[in-house]
Structure 1
Amino acid sequence: MNQGRRQRKGSRYATLCSVVTSMISIIFGYDTGVMSGALIFIREELGISDTQQELLAGILNVCALVGSLVAGRTADIIGRRYTISLASILFLVGSVLMGYGPNYAILMAGRCVAGLGVGFALLMAPIYSGEISSAEARGFLSSLPELCIGIGILLGYIINYLLGKLPLKLGWRLMLGIAAAPSLALAVGILAMPESPRWLVVKGHLAKAKKVLVKISDSEEEAELRFREIKSAAGIDENCTEETVKLSRNSSGEGVWKELILRPSYAVRRMLIAAVGIHFFEHATGIEAVMLYSHRIFKIAGVTSKDKLLLATIGIGVTKVSCLIVATFFLDKIGRRRLLFISTGGMIVSLSLLGFSLTMVDKSHEKLTWALVLSLVGTYVYVAFFNLGLAPVTWVYGSEIFPLRLRAQGASIGVAVNRLTNAAISMSFISIYKKITIGGAFFLFAGTSILAMLFFFFFLPETKGKALEEMEMVFGQKTERNAAAAAATTETTEPEQNA
């Protein structure tokens, strides 16, 4: 019994590290959720236009794009742990500015600073979790940041409902400002966590990396095996017993843009296409329109009072978190691809229902109760299927497929595309639905979901149960098959030529 507990101690410690690291995603999720309701009150007090609302909602993602690109190189220089702490500090400053918020300009400034923190957090939380976990538990631990985003969004919706009853000038400022407290706590607390052993190896700190691996593994044998695999991936002799070594500049994260963009190998090119594609489709299929503008959707459908609007959005948050919890336990059991197909299939159906019901509401001159109910059901079902697959798989997949030398900066490209697509949707949704009707907008998202399913089928191989050090082989399999076929062809044609 004691032996069993001792053998599981490493896994529990790795899980604890992932949970603490993922807390930064709660802050980001809270900022997203709380802004959805806060916009109602900001518009009422400051009298901002629809265009200004779109800018306020979307500027966070524009700045997150910049943050994610900077975070990749930053993480290679100062480490995963300090980069996450820096993200917390950015959230702290942004929350203080938004909570102060005397005018629209200060609100925008705070949103921009918080956006930089979002870019850092979205990149580093799943990478850190993936790098300290074993292959068998990586899907579960790497999906925790997405689950925490869902928890944060739900908390934001609940705070909207509770603080929305306060005086107008105080309520929304408290909504946006209270995130400063957990940001400060996390900025300090994250420093108590161990550094990623894979980053330590890349920096040549072999003794420190081995010490961390012993803590996060279930046995010394597992730690030794993982240590050998990481050293091999970093270009270090597996039998090297030195405590510190000096690696080439390329191994430590310098010059990787050339290998990623200018002269990628076949496997790296496939990785980049997969990462960019899955991050693009996560938001091109419309989730930001629902999460950020749900109060508008429900109002168009027929929900009119502020309290009922905020309660309806709480239902979205509960649905999101519930389905993310389910997804975390299936990522390592049924695989990434199968979850993606289930997810996008349900999204296509629910988005079509939502488009149909909102079109009927838009064309009718009287209240249609059945269309209101169908709109609510369609919205909740869409959020459910999205979070059963596409939401968690995007962040697990994008953080696990790149080789060690390219991981931080390769994943940062995917995150940048993610934030760019998010910004494009959040900053244009109101304008789009005014041009093609709100029902038409959701039919458009349904069509995009069909394209997403086709992309996943042709470009995303299964990575369940594969060690991080095996990913180049997984994505290079077509090359190996072609080489084998070419060799077989040569063997069959040579006898014919001799004859």
Structure 2
Amino acid sequence: MSESKVVESEEPHQTPKKFKLNNYALACAILASTTSILLGYDIGVMSGAAIYIKRDMKVSDVKIEILVGIFNLYSLIGSCLAGRTSDWIGRRYTIVLAGAIFFVGAILMGFSPNYAFLMFGRFVAGVGMGYALMVAPVYTAELAPPSSRGFLTSFTDVFINVGILLGYISNYAFSKMRLELGWRMMLGIGAIPSMVLTVGVLAMPESPRWLVMRGRLGEAKKVLNKTSDRKEEAGQRLADIKEAAGIPENEDNEVVEVSKRNTGEGVWKELFFSSAPAIRHMLMATLGIHFFQQASGVDAVVLYSPTIFEKAGITSDTYKLLATVGVGFVKTMFILVATFMLDRVGRRPLLLSSFGGMLLSLLTLAISLTVIHHSHRKLIWVIGLSITMVLSYVAFFSIGAGPVTWVYSSEIFPLRLRAQGMAVGVVVNRTTSGVLSITFLSLSKAITIGGAFYLYSGIAACGWVFIYTVLPETRGKTLEEMHMCFGKFWVKSSTTKTEENLMGAGRKSRR
């Protein structure tokens, strides 16, 4: 391998800053990331509600596929608008807007008299979700100090998983109600957290980087003082942000004039047509990590877990819904483990371990479901293995692919491109999720459900190779230092003992 194709760590002997937790930054991150509960709840609740919607409205599998998956495609509208909106009105008010739109959508879904009206309600809620998915990780990454940025930004996926678990519990709780009322309660109750969120976010400060981008240095300094571990660190963070925004370091006025370049003009052109290798590398990393996160089959497992359990041999609605609650519980527990490892272990080791585990789980699940498909009698051990592999898959997803995707893509872009860069990642994420959700039932019929999971395992293998070769480690870097990690498209990261242990590679460190 030629040296021109290798990127070594810019500071190989630099020790990442010790993990510290700022209580004010923690509170703000929790509030901002609560938006993710809305997406998680919709994913979880639709897995069970779809069963009763199909029975009540007497619609086909294709219409159910479209109903379930179209939410992700609708969210693309919000994601595309969110980058410019958050540069215009700020990160905080964009989160408020997201919660308000989702509230209206949840109410419409809860009162839907027919399939067409239900689709309209999902359109409104989907737009709101698109706004929330883009802006919440960006806000948290911009607010958090470097020592705990991974931990705090991972809250996006933590709350997605909490929402999924709540959705599963809602399915079980309302499944005993009258057919025409139960699924409407499942969907409509999602309006409650969105209403609480909309009010709670108003208590948060604005992102310090957005304030600097608008020339409001005095306000930015106050926020940085509250969210930094020391006053000296706050001063250094402010100096770095000013430099990134093109504001002279010796500028100390409370409010300064900023160029139109800092307010979002020309960003899309720079993002997609930049001649800078680092920007192209960042865009490639963002598109790839969001694609592989979804294309490896997570929404097929989470959205259609009752269908998978039915194919595995569980026929009772009650047992299927209880099994999905187990999926949500495991997913939530393992995401909590990941949040505490992100700033201690690093992004790459978690991603590589995650995709490796997902690959093995998907292969074993595919084999198990294929055996069940060709068997003429009930094989209890294969049913147990299938359920175990579903739980194993969501556990491995939650320790890396789930949380690290949002952390990584929200922290790598420079200040001027961050909102739009994250928006592009969300568009790829939701598009891939939507296509997978809409096609899963049809794909399962075409190549069998086991064949579908063989396909997803192949994609997970490609994802592992992509991460190993393209994604550099970003742990311990400030947002303004990220450009040093990018620029070459074949990554040979400094190998650490932690990564060796996690991957079980057994090879010598090449530091």
TM-score (norm 2): 0.91
Question: 1:100 is matched by which residue type in structure 2?
Answer: F
Contact 1:285–1:446 (CA<8 Å) still a contact in 2?
yes
> 1:434 and 2:445 equivalent?
yes
Which runs of 5 or more structure 2 residues have no equivalent in the other structure? 1-18, 493-511
Structure-2 residue corresponding to 1:272: 283
Structure-2 residue corresponding to 1:354: 365
1:244 maps to which of 255, 272, 294:
255
> 1:283 and 2:289 equivalent?
no
Structure-1 residue corresponding to 2:487: 476
> 1:179 and 2:190 equivalent?
yes
> 1:390 and 2:421 equivalent?
no
> 1:457 and 2:468 equivalent?
yes
Matches within 5 A, 1:360-371: 360-371=371-382
Measure, in 2, the Cα distance between the counterparts of 1:252 and 1:473. 24
Structure-2 residue corresponding to 1:487: none
Secondary structure of the residue aligned to 2:98 is: helix
Measure, in 2, the Cα distance between the counterparts of 1:98 and 1:163. 15
Shift of 1:37: 0.5
Measure, in 1, the Cα distance between the counterparts of 2:290 and 2:247. 32
Contact 1:84–1:190 (CA<8 Å) still a contact in 2?
yes
Structure-2 residue corresponding to 1:43: 54
> 1:410 and 2:421 equivalent?
yes
Structure-2 residue corresponding to 1:28: 39
Structure-2 residue corresponding to 1:497: none
2:431 maps to which of 413, 420, 423:
420
1:135 maps to which of 146, 149, 153:
146
Structure-1 residue corresponding to 2:386: 375
2:88 maps to which of 68, 77, 82:
77
Measure, in 2, the Cα distance between the counterparts of 1:239 and 1:229. 12
Shift of 1:200: 0.3
Contact 1:279–1:394 (CA<8 Å) still a contact in 2?
yes
Contact 2:52–2:183 (CA<8 Å) still a contact in 1?
yes
Contact 1:92–1:184 (CA<8 Å) still a contact in 2?
yes
Question: 2:142 is matched by which residue type in structure 1?
Answer: E
Structure-1 residue corresponding to 2:5: none
Deviations 1:151-207 (A, max 9, x none): 010011011101101111111111100111221121122111100000000011111
Over 3 Å counting, the alpha-carbon distance change for 1:242 and 1:462 in structure 2 is same
Measure, in 1, the Cα distance between the counterparts of 2:265 and 2:404. 28
Contact 2:281–2:488 (CA<8 Å) still a contact in 1?
no
Contact 2:277–2:488 (CA<8 Å) still a contact in 1?
no
Shift of 1:124: 1.0
Contact 2:103–2:190 (CA<8 Å) still a contact in 1?
yes
Question: 2:375 is matched by which residue type in structure 1?
Answer: S
- Higher radius of gyration, 1 or 2: 1
Over 3 Å counting, the alpha-carbon distance change for 1:323 and 1:9 in structure 2 is closer
Secondary structure of the residue aligned to 2:124 is: helix
Measure, in 1, the Cα distance between the counterparts of 2:324 and 2:313. 14
Structure-2 residue corresponding to 1:98: 109
Contact 2:20–2:148 (CA<8 Å) still a contact in 1?
no
Shift of 1:18: 0.4
Secondary structure of the residue aligned to 1:209 is: helix
> 1:295 and 2:320 equivalent?
no
Contact 2:43–2:167 (CA<8 Å) still a contact in 1?
yes
Contact 2:168–2:321 (CA<8 Å) still a contact in 1?
yes
Measure, in 2, the Cα distance between the counterparts of 1:237 and 1:282. 40
Measure, in 2, the Cα distance between the counterparts of 1:93 and 1:391. 28
Shift of 1:478: 7.6
Shift of 1:23: 1.1
Shift of 1:477: 6.3
Secondary structure of the residue aligned to 1:325 is: helix
Measure, in 2, the Cα distance between the counterparts of 1:285 and 1:264. 31
Secondary structure of the residue aligned to 1:428 is: helix
Shift of 1:9: 11
Shift of 1:476: 3.0
Contact 1:73–1:409 (CA<8 Å) still a contact in 2?
yes
Secondary structure of the residue aligned to 1:136 is: helix
Measure, in 2, the Cα distance between the counterparts of 1:217 and 1:344. 34
Measure, in 1, the Cα distance between the counterparts of 2:334 and 2:150. 15
Contact 1:144–1:328 (CA<8 Å) still a contact in 2?
yes
> 1:309 and 2:326 equivalent?
no
Contact 2:290–2:425 (CA<8 Å) still a contact in 1?
yes
Measure, in 1, the Cα distance between the counterparts of 2:21 and 2:458. 45
Shift of 1:72: 0.6
Structure-2 residue corresponding to 1:344: 355
RMSD: 1.5
Question: 1:216 is matched by which residue type in structure 2?
Answer: T
Structure-2 residue corresponding to 1:230: 241
Contact 1:32–1:292 (CA<8 Å) still a contact in 2?
yes
Matches within 5 A, 1:183-262: 183-262=194-273
Shift of 1:264: 3.8
Measure, in 2, the Cα distance between the counterparts of 1:425 and 1:44. 23
Measure, in 2, the Cα distance between the counterparts of 1:104 and 1:478. 47
Measure, in 1, the Cα distance between the counterparts of 2:482 and 2:116. 46
Measure, in 2, the Cα distance between the counterparts of 1:442 and 1:119. 28
Moved more, 59-68 or 419-428: 59-68
Between the two proteins, what is the percent identity of the paired residues?
54
1:446 maps to which of 436, 457, 461:
457
Name the structure with the higher helix share.
Answer: 1
Shift of 1:297: 0.4
Shift of 1:418: 0.3
Over 3 Å counting, the alpha-carbon distance change for 1:308 and 1:455 in structure 2 is same
Deviations 1:234-281 (A, max 9, x none): 111112111111222222221011111123411000000000000000
Aligned residues: 473
Structure-1 residue corresponding to 2:175: 164
Contact 1:100–1:177 (CA<8 Å) still a contact in 2?
yes
Question: 1:322 is matched by which residue type in structure 2?
Answer: M
Measure, in 2, the Cα distance between the counterparts of 1:126 and 1:287. 20
Measure, in 1, the Cα distance between the counterparts of 2:140 and 2:60. 41
Contact 2:205–2:223 (CA<8 Å) still a contact in 1?
yes
Contact 2:365–2:390 (CA<8 Å) still a contact in 1?
yes
Moved more, 195-204 or 240-249: 240-249
Structure-2 residue corresponding to 1:150: 161
Question: 1:422 is matched by which residue type in structure 2?
Answer: S
Secondary structure of the residue aligned to 1:427 is: helix
Contact 1:99–1:174 (CA<8 Å) still a contact in 2?
yes
Question: 1:21 is matched by which residue type in structure 2?
Answer: A
Measure, in 2, the Cα distance between the counterparts of 1:10 and 1:310. 38
TM-score (norm 1): 0.93
